[in-house]
Structures are given as C-alpha cells and as structure tokens.
Structure 1
Amino acid sequence: MRFKITLNIDNTTFRNRLPLNYQYEMSAALYKILYSANEEYAAWLHNNGYLADKLTFKLFTFSRLHIPNYRIKPPFIEIQSDTVEWLISFLPGRSTQEFIQGLFKEQSFDLGNRQANVRFQVKSVEMVPPPEFEETMIFETLSPACIVLKRDDGGEDYIAPDHPQAYEQVKINLLNKYKAFKGEDFPETDFPFALKALTAPKSALIAIKSGTPQETKIRGFMCKFQLTAPVELIKIAYECGVGGKNSQGFGMVKNS
C-alpha cells in the first residue's frame, strides 16, 4: 500500500537546505513518527520485522524526496520550492490506509544534521492506487536498488542490476520476503524469472550515519529495468522494494 505525502517547508524555524546524504535521517524520522503513534508497533518493526529462516525483513520502503526546484551546493541541497513530495510504501497488513493517514496527519518533523536542517509540516497524505500487476513489468527506481552478493570469504559486494548474478539475488530476496510476510514458502518452485536493465545503472554511494564513528557506506543503483516473475512476487517488489535494505530507503520503484 503506497502513500504520497506532501510536505510544506517551514522556513521560520530552520534554513531550507539538507545534506546531500539525507537517506538515513529520513529513515530515522519515519521511525520517530511510528513511535509517536504506536510505540509497541514501531519497536517491533525496528527490532524484529518479519522473519524468514532467521532473516529479518521490515517490509516497507520509501523514496527520495521529490523536490520540484532545488540547487546543489555541495555538500548540501538547497530547497527552492514551497513543498516536496515523499512516497512511502508498505505491504498490506497492520499498515492500513486509515492507520497511515492517521499516523501522518498534521505531523511535523525535522530532517538533516547540525549543518543543514529543514522542518517539514505534513500538508496531505494520499493513497496511491496500485498499477495493474502483470507477470512482466517495467519499473524505474525511485531510490537506489541495493543488490548484495555474498562472497566466499563472508564479505559483501554491491552489484548493479545488469550484473550476471543480479537476477538470482533479486529472486532469492523476493522469495524470502514472501515467506516472511505469508509465513510459508512460495508455492511454486519452477517459474519464469528475469531481470533486465533497460538503462545503464547509475551508481549511488550512500553514507549512513555520516560524520560519526558508526558511518558506513552502501552502494545502490538507479535505472529502469524489466522484471518477469509471478504476479505475487511482482506485487512484493512494488510494495516493499527491490533488493535489500528497503527500510533504509533503498529499492523503491514505480511502474514505467
């Protein structure tokens, strides 16, 4: 279930600029809003999520901010419009339309760090009607897709959607999300599955907890791609993201 949240910029409190790396701060703001409305539910999402074979999935994702007018002044982005849009998507369940709309109603929150901070006021929350799902669909990333390939030495590589092993990693991830949400394995074992990049993937290196001793960097990729899979898995890709680290704002897509 997907929602478009329109945010007003409160220029009376802070300035109108954000750090270029604001993805972690958006995740923190989202959890803070969840806590303010339902502490038990937010704590469960943060600490547990949905489980499948000892893997934890927080089955939601969000987009980058859509800012109509802005100026890049490294290391900041200066917002020059009065409003911005933010898309958030949850798999159905506790996250019903009424719950989410009530959760964000009249909320205000701060986003950024000590050098650049913006206060946003929620103007409106609208549910976005889902597309007509088919077994082959074209998607475009709204936030970088993070596809993780485990190495034999235990390390991880972040691979692009056009990597030869990307389709297998995306497939396994979607099957794990299905199991986490449904509580059972996907009923089919032999089905068509394909991932084809339609544009050259553009790398985006995202700093998490930037400027702190806990800083880490995650690489994702922006592109348009074609996905072939059973409709149930296509829905999961749309509702909670492609690839991993979705609850940190990776892998949100729109149908194209």
Structure 2
Amino acid sequence: MRIKIDFISQSKYGIRLPLHYNYLLQGFIYKNLSRHLARFIHNQGYQYEKRRFRFFTFSRLLGKFRIDRDWIIYPKICTLWIASPIIKILESFAGSLAREGCIQLGDNLCEVTSIEVPFTKKYEKEIEIRTLSPITVYSTLLTPDRKKKTYYYSPFEPEFSKLILQNLIKKYLALHPDKKDNLQVFSITPRWVSKKNEHIIYYKKTIIKAWSGIYRIKGSQGLLELAFDSGLGSKNSQGFGMIEEYKN
C-alpha cells in the first residue's frame, strides 16, 4: 500500500532543504507516527534471523526545483510518496498529517493540501518500473588487512539482482514466516540506465551509492507486491528503493 502527500509552502521563498535530505525526511515520518509505533519500528522492527526491517520506504520529493549551492529549493509545491506493507504505519502517518494540517518540514512551514491513497493493483509476473528513490545494493567485505569495506554494486553486475532477491526473501519471511513456497522467482534487469543514473547520497556522515532509472522486474506475485510496498534493495526506510510502474 502507498499514499501520496502534496505540500505547499507557507513562505514566499518556497521549501528550502539541504541537498541530502533523506535523514530529514525519515525523521519527519517518524515524528508523524504514533509514539508507540515509531518506537517499535525504530528500535525493534520486524525480524528475520539477524535482520530487522522497518518496512516503509519513501520517494524523493517530487516537483519543480532549483539548486542553490548546498540547498534544493521547491518554489511552491512538492509531493512525497510513502509505501509500506504494514497498513497501520500508513494510517498513523496519514492520520497525523490530516489532523495537523500544517506541518514542519525541516525549517519550512508547509500546508498539507492533499493525501491520496491510490488503488492497489495486482501486478503481472513481468513489469517495467521506474525508481521514485534510487536503489542501493551493497556488501561488506574485508580488505587484505582485515578492515571492513562497503562495496556498492551497479545494476550491470549480477550481484545486484541476486542480492535484491535475497533481501526480498528475508523481508517476505519476516512478514510471513510460515509461507516459504515459490520465493526464488525474482529478477531485475536495467532497461534505461546509464552512468548518469548513479547517485552519491550522504546520509548523516555516510556516503551511499545508489541507482535510479527504468528497470524490468520479473517474479512471483508475493515478491512483486512486496517490492512495491517495501522497496527494492537496502536502506529502504532511509529513503531508498521506492518504485512505481513505468508506462510509456
């Protein structure tokens, strides 16, 4: 399930945010959940083996913008998408925004002009998608001197699709521990992706490499639905991996 939120700036100067605003948006989402739910998701989440999943993802802010040095400025209006397979997360978030009406986004006072819940469709076994926030896929490796190093994969490396599948399976089993059938059927292939789709994003003080673009995904019904609801790849609750159906 997903919701779409439209904001309008209360300032004549528009909505002004740091270029790397993922952490700010993540905090905004947590702030607008019920205290109990926010604490549970942040501190505990949904566990499978050693992995814990927060089970929400969100888009980049969509709308016309301009760049001013280290800032991104939306002249008036912008849109945020948030998705989750846990309906109570979206209900809590949307309910908070509806009650408040005006919200604080960073240093910006904004009015929530609309909250939409689009129709949830059943996806085919093969579908083209585009990213609403870039996908990050990585492994933590050991260097010859035994130091940990993070290696980020590109969509053109086989590990990209392989690790996305492994991640989806773990998410699925965290939600449905008793359903283990037909979970090896998923692949992602770049369709319109080039070097310009690689993004370097700072989250707090960590550098994260991620990829946007148009992709084709194939998979079982359960994994496809989860891909749309929870995001692809890693760090979904930090604003990575949200997708939508791509239509020419």
Q: TM-score with structure 1 length normalisation?
A: 0.86
Question: How far off is 1:95 after superposition?
Answer: 3.5
Query: Which amino acid letter does the alignment assign opposite residue 220 of structure 2?
Result: P
In structure 2, which of residues 41, 46, 49 is the aligned counterpart of residue 50 of structure 1? 46
Residue in 2 that maps onto 1:94: 88
Q: Partners in 2 of 1:184 and 1:170 — Cα distance? A: 21
Question: What are the within-5 Å matches in structure 2 for residues 21-170 of structure 1?
Answer: 21-34=20-33, 38-67=34-63, 69-81=64-76, 83-95=77-89, 97=91, 99-107=92-100, 108-112=102-106, 117-153=107-143, 154-170=148-164
Q: Partners in 2 of 1:162 and 1:111 — Cα distance? A: 36
Q: Partners in 1 of 2:121 and 2:178 — Cα distance? A: 26
With over 3 angstroms needed to count, the CA separation of the structure-2 counterparts of 1:144 and 1:160, relative to structure 1, is same
Question: How far off is 1:130 after superposition?
Answer: 2.3
SS of aligned partner of 1:95: helix
Question: What are the within-5 Å matches in structure 2 for residues 192-211 of structure 1?
Answer: 192-201=185-194, 202-209=197-204
RMSD value over aligned CA atoms?
1.9
In structure 2, which of residues 208, 223, 231 is the aligned counterpart of residue 218 of structure 1? 208
Count of aligned pairs: 239
**Structure 1, unaligned runs of 5 or more:** 210-214
Q: Partners in 1 of 2:90 and 2:131 — Cα distance? A: 24
Q: Which moved more, 1:176-185 or 1:243-252?
A: 176-185
In structure 1, which of residues 236, 243, 252 is the aligned counterpart of residue 233 of structure 2? 243
- After superposition, give the CA deviation of every residue in 1:8-42 in whole Å (9 maximum; x if it has no partner): 21117x863211111110001111111xxx21111
**Structure 2, unaligned runs of 5 or more:** none
Q: Partners in 1 of 2:72 and 2:94 — Cα distance? A: 28
Contact 1:106/1:122, CA 8 A, preserved across alignment:
no
Q: Partners in 1 of 2:239 and 2:133 — Cα distance? A: 7
Q: TM-score with structure 2 length normalisation?
A: 0.89
- After superposition, give the CA deviation of every residue in 1:52-84 in whole Å (9 maximum; x if it has no partner): 0120001110001112x3221121112212x21
Q: Partners in 1 of 2:50 and 2:87 — Cα distance? A: 21
Query: Which amino acid letter does the alignment assign opposite residue 182 of structure 1?
Result: H
SS of aligned partner of 2:41: helix
Q: Partners in 2 of 1:93 and 1:162 — Cα distance? A: 34
Residue in 1 that maps onto 2:11: 11
Where does structure 1 differ by over 4 angstroms across 4 or more consecutive aligned residues?
none
